Amino acid sequence: MMIDLHGRSALVTGSTSGIGEAIARKLGDAGADVVVNGRKADRVDEVAKDLGARGITGDVGTAQGVADLLDQLPDVDILVNSAGVFGTTPVFEIEDDDWLRLFEVNVLSGVRLTRHYAPRMVARGWGRVIFVSSEAGVQTPTEMVHYGVTKSAQLALSRGTAQEVAGTGVTVNCVLPGPTLTRGVESMLAQLYPDLSDEDRERRYVAGGRASTSLLKRLIRPEEIASLVTYVASDEASATTGAALSVDGGLVPTIFP
């Protein structure tokens, strides 16, 4: 299957590293006119230059940051809500400010951007809204309940929005990655297991951590998530909407999506 996104514009929030950067790269490779977004101007410029894309600096985890972005980019065909933050804190020690920050970044950024862009997609009769959720949205991690709650909220937001735009040519979906080998995770593993090789670090982490139920028996690669997102963003996925699409390597032990 050859996915062709020429003539389509795409905004990928939180795309200066990790999963978001891989998604921006893959969409660009498929021909989309990609806009890279992040909070640090130097990193936005660096990634945008590397991808041959446009960069817009701004914190979509704030209402003002979203407003500033929309002033610069009033319309897109494909919106990928990839910006996200997480933290590990015992549930009874999570302060209100931490709850609110995770909701602002992980949920309200997508609410605000989708509320603006989706009606314009409907008016044109074509569009794609994609939320990068997580398997944590269906099996809440004990050590970061607030993160899991925001990822569950994205599932409800995505499904409800898909129902609102039913029959318009606009689709709305979630993808649910499992634990992923980003540069940040690579650094964490190097600190945890300094005397092991890269392969042995990953193997040790998977065997003893949250990814132990993975059927792949390894961490997901960012480009594997990006491949699914690129498909969902294409005409080939026109019958897929209101869905929660797993890309967790079989981590969640269920036969249901």
Catalytic residue positions, numbered: 147
Give me the sheet containing 54-57, strands edge to edge. Answer: 54-57, 33-38, 9-12, 78-81, 127-132, 170-177, 244-247
Give ∠ CA 240-242-152 in degrees, rounded to 5. Answer: 135
Contacts of residue 199, defined as CB under 8 A and 6 or more positions apart, other chains included, come to none
The crossing angle, in degrees rounded to 10, of helices 145-164 and 109-124 is: 20
Tell me the CB-side half-sphere exposure of residue 33, using CA atoms within 13 A. 8
> Strand 54-57 relative to strand 170-177: parallel, antiparallel, unpaired?
unpaired
Q: Is 45 exposed, middle or buried (0-12, 13-18, 19+ CB in 10 A)?
A: middle
Contacts of residue 46, defined as CB under 8 A and 6 or more positions apart, other chains included, come to 16
Residue among 172, 215, 218 nearest 80 (CA): 172
Give ∠ CA 132-74-37 in degrees, rounded to 5. Answer: 45
- Between CA 217 and CA 25 the distance in angstroms is 26
Residue among 70, 53, 74 nearest 62 (CA): 70
Residue at token pair 């269920």:
254
